[in-house]
Amino acid sequence: MYNKEGGRLITPEHQTPNMKLLVGLSLFVALSAGSPIEITIPLDNSHYVEGVSRYIWMPDGNDVPQLVDLQAPAEPLRGAENQYLLFTRSNPENPQELKYNDRESVRNSNYNRNWPIVVIVHGWTGDINSKVNPYVRDAMLEVGNYNVIALDWHKAAGGLYTSAIRNVFDTGESLGFFLDWLIFSFGGSWNNVHLVGYSLGAHVVANVGRMILRRPGRITGLDPAGPQFGNNPDALNIQDAAYVECMATDGGMMGIFDPICQANFYPNGGRHPQPGCDSNSCSHSRAYELYAASVRYNRFVGRQCASLDDAENQRCDGAEFLMGNADLNKRRFGLFGLKTEAAWPF
């Protein structure tokens, strides 16, 4: 008997060249009736149906695909053990840790109340070394003076994907309390807070202001994680900041394709494959690469789309609106499509 779902935790780097040519991985799973069946998970996620499928290949913090069981029993809540690591033009590569309720940690840092605060939040199994951090950090510090804070929530983001999802709310709430304390104690403004979340991190930043009733100036969701976020109250939505922008690059697979933000950008149709990508992991991570390029060069001109179908099929010819960049005063509602090149700076 053949079924399109199933899988085991084997990553592509452990496969032989011949295995990589196969459409998927097969194994035998024993059902309750006692007789095993062979089930296969295609490496291109062509089996995946959002809200239905049990298994999906998702990239870890190093963008290496891992097979995720979306029905795996979640582990107990770990609680937020966040680390807040500050980068500025004076320390662009060597972080200074800011500690909640530790005034000396801020006084002894390069934090400047007159500069905007940009917080970067990685996704599932990520950490301070995840590629999204240097991409976005370096781009921001190239174009201006910012307090760039990389949130390291690796303890809560690690382990099973289903467990990491349970930690999203607490992690975002704790980030919100930290930022409120930082701004109240050392100066700054919520209007000058820009939260940049990649994949699962996009839903973390969604929860920053909800409990403390604050609205950051801007949220940028970089291919917000899709699996298990349909009708999830912790998911990113249009009310989470004064301006909420999303960028879909692997929509309908690892990312959300539906327009959940005020401005929703669909580069190259918003789905896999993105130009130059041969895997969903590449298309998913293309979101932060495109965003970093948009900060540095600010030349991705989106055109408004009449419908989601037009966005997917790249038939958008309406009003122009720039995708990405670092502008805290951006405001626009709608769907926007554009085409990019296959390699940096796209």
CATH number at residue 303: 3.40.50.1820
Same domain, 95 and 54: no
Same domain, 178 and 280: yes
**What does the pLDDT read at residue 228?**
95
Same domain, 156 and 50: no
Q: Among residues 46, 69, 92, which one ends one of the domains?
A: 69
Same domain, 37 and 134: no
**What does the pLDDT read at residue 138?**
98
Residue at 75 is within a domain: no
Same domain, 65 and 94: no
**What does the pLDDT read at residue 223?**
98
Residue at 202 is within a domain: yes
Calpha distance 244→238 (Å, rounded): 6
Same domain, 187 and 124: yes
Three-class SS state of 204: helix
Q: What would the pLDDT profile of 50-70 be if each residue is shown by its tens digit?
A: 889 999 999 999 899 999 999
| CA gyration radius, the chain | 20
Same domain, 48 and 94: no
Same domain, 127 and 219: yes
Same domain, 89 and 170: yes
Residue at 332 is within a domain: yes
**What does the pLDDT read at residue 13?**
38
Residue at 57 is within a domain: yes
Residue at 76 is within a domain: no
Calpha distance 146→130 (Å, rounded): 20
For residue 165, what are the domain limits? 83-338
Residue ranges for the chain with pLDDT beneath 50: 1-23, 26-33
**What does the pLDDT read at residue 17?**
33
Same domain, 145 and 19: no
**What does the pLDDT read at residue 16?**
33
| 225: DSSP letter | B
Closest CA to 284 of 155, 128, 126: 126
Same domain, 32 and 155: no
**What does the pLDDT read at residue 77?**
84
**What does the pLDDT read at residue 281?**
96
Tokens of 131: 């590629």
Same domain, 275 and 306: yes
**What does the pLDDT read at residue 20?**
36
The structural domain count of the chain equals 2
Residue at 78 is within a domain: no
Give the active site residues.
Answer: 199, 223, 284
Residue at 58 is within a domain: yes
Three-class SS state of 69: strand
With tokens 């006084």, the residue in question is 107
The percent helix, strand, coil of the chain (3-state, each to 5) is: 25, 25, 50
Asked if residue 197 lies in contact with residue 205, where contact means CB atoms within 8 angstroms, the answer is: yes
**What does the pLDDT read at residue 39?**
66
Q: Does the N-terminal peptide bond of residue 345 adopt cis geometry, omega within 30 degrees of 0? A: yes
Residue at 344 is within a domain: no
**What does the pLDDT read at residue 266?**
99
